Chain A
Amino acid sequence: MASYWQIFISFFKIGSFTLGGGYAMIPLIQQEVVDKKGWLKESEFVEMMAIAQSAPGPIALNTAIFVGYKARGVKGVIFSSLGTILPSFIVILLIAIIFTDFKNNPGVERVFKGIRPAVVALIAAPLYKMGKSAGVSRKTIIFPVIAALLVWQLNLSPIYIIIAAILGGLLYGKITHKF
């Protein structure tokens, strides 16, 4: 059986090396919890990833919670979650403490003037590919476009968009599949 300490260390490792977050860390998690530790079977891992992606919240945390629960129940969850959260917590806290002093340094401000537009490009560039893999068609493209306009121009909270999307998906399913 996995010890709490082992669970903590494994997820601390995962939490420390997930630069950029999200999908980049899936192979790392798989290697650690399936290949090395055997806490999940390959097939369980694939199913779990689907669930971790559909639930709200960061995928890294959702995965840690699922694996921690499978390995040692609720106490396992505490150790796996702490392991995942702590590396980023420590790093960002240090940055927040130091950066507030650094920020007004003219050199640092110049660096960030260059970085800011690049960050916007980083957010916008994957949209086309994501749209293709989500199966957006000429008919359905209107939904993300309206959502973007409502949030951008009318300052509508994205929470309403998310609720509408869930209800819309259910309604569409009800009409087309008649269940």
Chain B
Amino acid sequence: MSELDLYISLFITFFKIGLFGFGGGYAMLSLIQHDVVETHNWISVADFTDIVAISQSTPGPIAFNTATYIGYTATGSIWGSAICTIAVSLPSLIIMITISKFFFMFRDNKYVEMAMQGLKITVLGLIGAAALLLMNKQNFVDYKSYIIFAIAFIATFKFKMDPILMIIAAGIAGYLLY
């Protein structure tokens, strides 16, 4: 693939992610994973999981973070980062400027409301799919991985532990256990 083709393919992929990225952060993960990991093989599942972890502990939305990171690693250039970050932001820019212009038409629109009702429920499935896709052999290397998963799940679900603290604790556990 020529360098221009790579840039075009990155642009189209991240534009699509921005355009169909409904439901925020985690809901976009399966979309990013499908295109970036499965279709284009720009990074491995383990690297993708690392980006999600890094994303949890650095400023900014996961979609931006992934775009900036993959833009750099796929091209080896800052321009790759810039192109991907612009591509993922463009759909929001176009759609939100239009909405801001016609704010009152979108407010209380029953069609928008109905479509959102369908999305709200289905997006949960996409988040579930993201979790299931990441539960593979690269991320779960042995029984210790399942113990870490179970403890992290309970700490988040029952005790609402802060995600950054959780990642730090899991990192320390990994360093000691492996």
Q: Which residues of A approach B to under 8 Å, CB–CB?
A: 15-23, 47, 51-62, 65-66, 69-70, 74, 77, 81, 84-85, 87-89, 91-93, 95-97, 99-100, 103, 107, 109-128, 130-131, 134-136, 140, 143-149, 151-152, 155, 157-159, 161-162, 164-170, 172-174, 177, 179
Contact = CB atoms under 8 A, between A and B. Distances in A.
Contacts of A53: 24
A116 B49 contact: yes
17 contacts: A22-B24, A55-B99, A56-B21, A57-B95, A58-B62, A59-B24, A84-B60, A92-B69, A95-B54, A111-B171, A115-B49, A116-B145, A118-B167, A118-B169, A124-B128, A155-B34, A166-B118
Contact of A18 (B59, B69, B115, B133): B59
Contact of B163 (A20, A23, A60, A96): A20
A62 B23 CA distance: 12
Interface string B98-112: 011101001100111
Contact of B97 (A77, A145, A152): A77
B110 A21 contact: no
Interface of B: 16, 18-22, 24-26, 29-31, 34-35, 38, 46-47, 49-50, 52-65, 68-69, 72-73, 78, 81-82, 85, 88-89, 91-93, 95-97, 99-101, 103, 106-107, 110-135, 138-141, 145-146, 148-150, 152-153, 156-157, 163-164, 166-167, 169-175, 177-178
Contact of B81 (A47, A57, A89): A89
B159 to A, nearest CB: 10
A122 B124 contact: no
A162 B85 CA distance: 22
Instruction: Tell me what chain A mostly uses at the interface: helix, strand, loop, or mixed.
Output: helix
B110 A56 contact: no
Contacts of B163: 20, 122
B14 to A, nearest CB: 11
A173 to B, nearest CB: 3
Nearest 8 A/B pairs, CB to CB: A114-B174, A169-B118, A88-B60, A147-B125, A173-B114, A57-B92, A144-B125, A58-B61
A158 B17 CA distance: 10
Nearest to B124: A144
B170 A115 contact: yes
Contacts of A157: 31, 34-35
B133 A152 contact: yes
A110 B174 CA distance: 5
Given A20-B164, A22-B24, A151 B120 contact: no
Find the residue from A15, A47, A117 having the highest chain B CB count within 10 A: A117
B134 A56 contact: no
